[in-house]
Amino acid sequence: MEVKFKEERDKLVRHLKKIGYIKSERVEDAMLNVQRHLFVPFDEIKYAYEDRPLPIGAGQTISAPHMVAIMTEYLKLKKGDKVLEIGAGSGYQAAIISRIVGEGGKVISIERIEGLADFARENLKRAGIKDVEVMRGDGSLGFEPEAPYDKICVTCAAPDIPEPLVGQLRVGGRMVIPVGRHAQELYLLDKGEDQIVKRKVGGVIFVPLIGRYGF
Ligand code: SAM
């Protein structure tokens, strides 16, 4: 079975490279090596290497592989980065980030729904990924005790960029976040010494961020 999955995964990665969503070796390596079929519910396994979101329960989804590639490329991750993810869902995006930041790095992922936080933890364990800490809570507040973060990856759409997340980003750090009340845009936020630069990089569709600084 793993041989078949590996072939499907290789094919998907080749496709994402060809159409320009995978640009770097580090993202290619992560997407070749993290097994997406370990992060979807049993009924969805046969679709694990199709380039589309899949249901993971509680009305939520694992993002499409091309969206994971796009967001991960924009994060410009480096070995040793400390990363905060909002919206653990299946744990797949956190696994991809973890593979890139390596053992010296750290990934903290916050999930609002208890059952999904458990699902993400189980999937990460099955995939043998140890350096991701999944916590249940309102990610719109960030997680102050571990701040500052080199990178913040938000995988649900916020009405506006949550202030606590900007505060917890390191100077020189980058946040990737979908924003929008109706139509959503993916934003990159770069935090400099004395200015914050926000850039819209394209339309997206994400489930809403629900919380104090969310919907
Ligand atoms: N990154 C996930 C993955 O790789 O499977 C996909 C995440 S899914 C598109 C968005 C997730 O954000 C959902 O699981 C949802 O419950 C979660 N979410 C929504 N609002 C949240 C909040 N305030 N704090 C933490 N998680 C939240």
- What domains sit in the chain, N to C, each tagged with a CATH number? 2-204 (3.40.50.150)
User: Is the whole-model pTM more than 0.95?
Assistant: yes
Ligand 1 and 93: CB distance under 6 A:
yes
Q: What percent of the chain has pLDDT over 90?
A: 98
184 lines ligand 1 (CB under 6 A): no
Question: 21 CA distance to ligand 1 centroid (A)?
Answer: 22
Question: Mind listing the pLDDT tens digit for each residue in 69-127?
Answer: 999 999 999 999 999 999 999 999 999 999 999 999 999 999 999 999 999 999 999 99
Q: How confident is the model at residue 5 (pLDDT cuts 50, 70, 90)?
A: very high
> Which residue's alpha carbon is at the smallest distance from atom 2 of ligand 1?
89
d(CA 19, CA 153): 23
Q: Compute the average pLDDT of residues 34-55.
A: 98
Comparing C-alpha atoms, which of 180, 189, 173 is closest to residue 214?
180
